[in-house]
Structure 1
Amino acid sequence: MTDSADSPSDASDRPNLVLVHCHDLGQHLGCYGADVDTPNIDGLAADGARLANSFCTAPQCSPSRSSMVTGTYPHENGVMGLAHMGWALGDDRETLPKRLKAAGDETALLGFQHEVPDEPERLGYDHVDSGTKRALELVDVVDDFFAERADADDPFFVSIGIEEPHRPFRREYLPDETYDAYDPDEVPLDDFAYLPDAPGVREDVADLRSVISEVLDPAVGRYRESLADAGLAEETVFVFTTDHGLAIPRAKGTCYDPGIETALVVRQPGAVEGGEVHESLVTNADFTPTMLDLLGIDPPTDLSGESFAPLLRGEPHEGRDRIFAEMTWHDRYNPIRAIRTERYKYVRNFSVLPKVFVPMDVAPTASGREVHEEFHVPQRPAEELYDLEADPHESENLASDKKPFEPAAEASDPDPAHADALDRLRDELEAWMESTDDPLLDGPVPYPDVE
């Protein structure tokens, strides 16, 4: 693997990197146009750059996070399912903390990670404090960490992993008044037009928004305050992001936009102009090379991810015209591959599961049951094509309704107005799978050989 990094003697000239990442948020923030109160994260976006079309490589935790820290797709790095269910990055896999540690940075993890099931030091962290992953409980941990490094000579990288807004949205450790912010009967559902207007959906949306505005957002604001109080804010790249889309039906566990869209906000004083909104397509496989580039370290050239640091710095940047997403294993085998351009989404389903896959943490909820009843059909089509300009909620499949393993003679024809796009995207997806040695091309992917 091609590496390029500053020597430790050069490290003192580089900024620090603070990465704050949460669960299951998608882009449900005020600065992304959602009807939710998030003044602290909105303020970070005003001070930095917001990536409007940021997507993840997989609509589930471990595979997506593996891409973020390696710059490779899940089927390339081997994390095609959840870390606590047998999938994990190998010890020989290069990660962002390993690369920064080799370049002379101190590396630390505070809170949560999900790329390996245990011993997160294997990912390249010098210091690990995983005593809590709750956003507000981490405030004191983060405060102590920054205070201890106020006068340090060498730069540091700290990954702050927080649990909220993972399900269940209602938590015993949170005060009851946390959930008074939004009334289920009054909460608008404009951001959830792909879900039915049903009581369970309304309760979920109200609780989701409450935990975002009353827990997640204030905690991020406190982390920024701690960094500033330690005198480190102006010499630090501060990033906020999430792993994948919202933990609601037809989002998490699917390759529809609500499952793969991610918030991504980057602040770097003196380099990234505040208030910028970038519309270019980016994927979280680009995260590691981009962070290295922002820190002045030449990123490796043999990764699937590409640096979009020039875009953030206002320099010429060609950018992507497409991104890819995938799913293989979650709580069941559910192989999907997808390609998204600015206009189209093409999804290839390799299994015979129902149309709406509801992950195990969503299925027991009222909204999960209601959506399953409303959208359930006997079998998903083998291919899905959506015109995102005309149909942003991906409700009208323009491809054939042919089911996997069904004779083509029994299926409808694709919409002729979009047949060329279907052929092109089908070919591009297959070419990507071949170029990245996707094991799905050889048949079903077995569960890992673990106890």
Structure 2
Amino acid sequence: MNRPNIVLLHCHDAGRAVQPYGWPVATPNLQRFAEQGVLFRKCFAAAPTCGPSRTAMLTGQYPHQVGMYGLPGAQGWTIDDIDKHLVHQLNRVGYQTVLAGCQHEVDHHDLSPLGYSRILDTRPQCGEFYQETIDHVERYLAERSQSAAASGDTHDTPFFLSIGLDEPHRNNLARPELGIGTESARFSKTRYYDPERLDARYTAPLATLPDLPEIRRDVESLYEGVRIMDEYMGRVLYAIGHYGLDDSTIVIVTTDHGIEFPGGKKTLSDYGTGVMLMMRAPALVADGGFAGGRVIEPIVSHLDLYPTLMDLIGCERPEWLEGESLVPLVTGRVAALHDEVFTEQTYHGTLEPLRAVRTERYKLIRRHLPTGPLMRHDGPSTPIVDAHGWYDRETGHEELFDLYRDPQEACNRITDPSMVPIADDLRERMDRWMARTDDCFVGGEFPAVPGRPAQQ
């Protein structure tokens, strides 16, 4: 088999808040996709914020290894070695690399460092998602299908198509031509709806937040953004199938990190770093392992995507990659890939350095500062919980959670004498990881935001 096409369909801030992961929101397109492919039940991003998480996924290294300590663009962070980006690797082996919609690895005013051979969006400010982005994607897939039919070779030049959706990111971008301001109560940047008109009477709050009308309405607004996201993704999946590209295309559906609520994004909780990851591949790829509606239980990481793609397209694995190919796990050659996964945060505007190690059952979080969370979240839920002391709490420098007995991560067990062996084991694992990856967290001095003094 010739090298397959690759479609990376990714969105902002969705976590696992979709129907295939059991959330009470109808996402029929993603449910159908899950039933056709493979769903990874416990996948984690390397970071709980946009730029660092996407950079880690697409370079195969932790954010601190590639210099992406915060957001690119206005905050000035850049990838130390852009040649590590997946797009450059795919360019080297003959793929046509195409971007549609948003990315968050470089400043959107200059996408050239990413190396895409084609940008589908036609607005002056590319690298962002608009309603018409999906129209561009449909036309591109039609073009590829017609080209293959004319040449008689469905694998003439394989393509990598990255499609970045903004939904369900809280709205922070005014688009007057769409009647959209910057109201953060809305979980869409491309479609207007009035959160006050949503029916939240029978909506449950998130398990980590109080059961109050304002919070229930905020959760229902999240679900509206997720439904919009599912509609957009469904159009892409429909086009792939109806243009006859299913049998030659690997499709990946994921998001950058968790949902934008207190206790989610900008924290190292499972609500902050847990992400959906679903994949579907042609029957001849990996012995048909990426098909059939299977659910994979063991923990995996976004860092595993890069080596997985190298494996599936028959390319040598770059030596810098931190993750492992998912192929042995999917095909049953191994029972698990990882004993633990690591996650991190340094900046998101504010400096709040965190590092975590998570096993199947336990999680240890290290905090550079003994108070937190410091970073506020957008949206109407935040001032409610802020007024009751949710932020800026005395947390100490370490937190230890038993995720089987305390899945909401509400009870810090770090001072529990019975947990000493577990805490010591996790500390050793984290120490080894920090030393091996040369993490500045150890020394307590962090790179300055470009143009500002270093912080401690």
Note the C-alpha offset of 1:100.
0.9
The residue that corresponds to 1:263 in the other structure is 276
Does structure 1 residue 116 correspond to structure 2 residue 134? no
Unaligned stretches of 5+ residues in structure 2: 149-155, 172-184
The residue that corresponds to 2:408 in the other structure is 393
Q: Deviations over 1:322-367 (max 9, x none)?
A: 000000011200000000000001000001443x3344xx24x320
The residue that corresponds to 1:435 in the other structure is 436
Letter in 1 for 2:204: P
Letter in 2 for 1:155: P
Alignment of 1:266-415 (within 5 A): 266-270=279-283, 271=288, 272-316=290-334, 318-354=336-372, 356-359=373-376, 362-363=377-378, 365-374=379-388, 375-376=390-391, 378-399=393-414, 414-415=415-416
Alignment of 1:408-427 (within 5 A): 414-427=415-428
Counterpart-to-counterpart distance in 2, 1:178 and 1:134: 21
Counterpart-to-counterpart distance in 1, 2:49 and 2:114: 19
Letter in 1 for 2:311: D
Alignment of 1:198-277 (within 5 A): 198-213=212-227, 215-270=228-283, 271=288, 272-277=290-295
Counterpart-to-counterpart distance in 2, 1:378 and 1:17: 44
The residue that corresponds to 1:141 in the other structure is 136
Q: Deviations over 1:32-55 (max 9, x none)?
A: 011111010111110000000000
* Higher mean C-alpha displacement, 17-26 vs 302-311: 302-311
Letter in 2 for 1:320: H
- SS where residue 34 of structure 1 aligns? coil
Counterpart-to-counterpart distance in 2, 1:195 and 1:357: 17
What is the aligned-residue identity percentage?
A: 37
Tell me if the contact between 2:354 and 2:366 (Cα under 8 Å) persists in the aligned partners: yes
The residue that corresponds to 1:158 in the other structure is 161
Tell me if the contact between 2:59 and 2:86 (Cα under 8 Å) persists in the aligned partners: yes
Note the C-alpha offset of 1:311.
1.9
Counterpart-to-counterpart distance in 2, 1:71 and 1:295: 16
Letter in 2 for 1:396: C
Q: Which of 25, 45, 65 pairs up with 2:54?
A: 65
The residue that corresponds to 1:197 in the other structure is 211
The residue that corresponds to 2:447 in the other structure is 446
Unaligned stretches of 5+ residues in structure 1: 1-11, 400-413
> Alignment RMSD, CA only?
2.0
Counterpart-to-counterpart distance in 2, 1:262 and 1:269: 24
Letter in 1 for 2:83: R
The normalised TM-score by structure 1 is: 0.88
The residue that corresponds to 1:185 in the other structure is 201
Counterpart-to-counterpart distance in 1, 2:165 and 2:80: 23
Structure 1 residues 427 and 156 mapped into 2: Cα distance closer, same or farther (>3 Å)? same
Q: Deviations over 1:45-97 (max 9, x none)?
A: 10000000000010000000011001100000110101121112135431111
Counterpart-to-counterpart distance in 2, 1:366 and 1:252: 15
Letter in 2 for 1:427: E
The residue that corresponds to 2:35 in the other structure is 46
Counterpart-to-counterpart distance in 2, 1:41 and 1:217: 6
Counterpart-to-counterpart distance in 2, 1:389 and 1:102: 45
The normalised TM-score by structure 2 is: 0.87
Letter in 1 for 2:70: G
- SS where residue 209 of structure 1 aligns? helix
Note the C-alpha offset of 1:120.
2.1
Counterpart-to-counterpart distance in 2, 1:137 and 1:314: 41
Counterpart-to-counterpart distance in 1, 2:257 and 2:157: 32
Note the C-alpha offset of 1:203.
1.7
- SS where residue 184 of structure 1 aligns? coil
The residue that corresponds to 2:71 in the other structure is 82
Letter in 1 for 2:277: L
- SS where residue 6 of structure 2 aligns? strand
Structure 1 residues 39 and 179 mapped into 2: Cα distance closer, same or farther (>3 Å)? farther
Note the C-alpha offset of 1:217.
0.4
Structure 1 residues 99 and 352 mapped into 2: Cα distance closer, same or farther (>3 Å)? same
Q: Deviations over 1:172-206 (max 9, x none)?
A: 852438986x52222123xx111111233112101
Counterpart-to-counterpart distance in 2, 1:27 and 1:63: 19
Letter in 2 for 1:385: L
Structure 1 segments of 4+ aligned residues over 4 angstroms from their partners:
177-180
Counterpart-to-counterpart distance in 2, 1:345 and 1:172: 34
Counterpart-to-counterpart distance in 2, 1:246 and 1:140: 27
Letter in 1 for 2:409: E
Note the C-alpha offset of 1:302.
3.4
Tell me if the contact between 2:374 and 2:391 (Cα under 8 Å) persists in the aligned partners: no
Tell me if the contact between 2:196 and 2:217 (Cα under 8 Å) persists in the aligned partners: no
Q: Deviations over 1:124-163 (max 9, x none)?
A: 2101134474464322111011111112411000100110
Tell me if the contact between 1:200 and 1:366 (Cα under 8 Å) persists in the aligned partners: yes
Counterpart-to-counterpart distance in 2, 1:282 and 1:135: 31
Does structure 1 residue 15 correspond to structure 2 residue 8? no
The residue that corresponds to 1:3 in the other structure is none
Tell me if the contact between 1:248 and 1:367 (Cα under 8 Å) persists in the aligned partners: yes
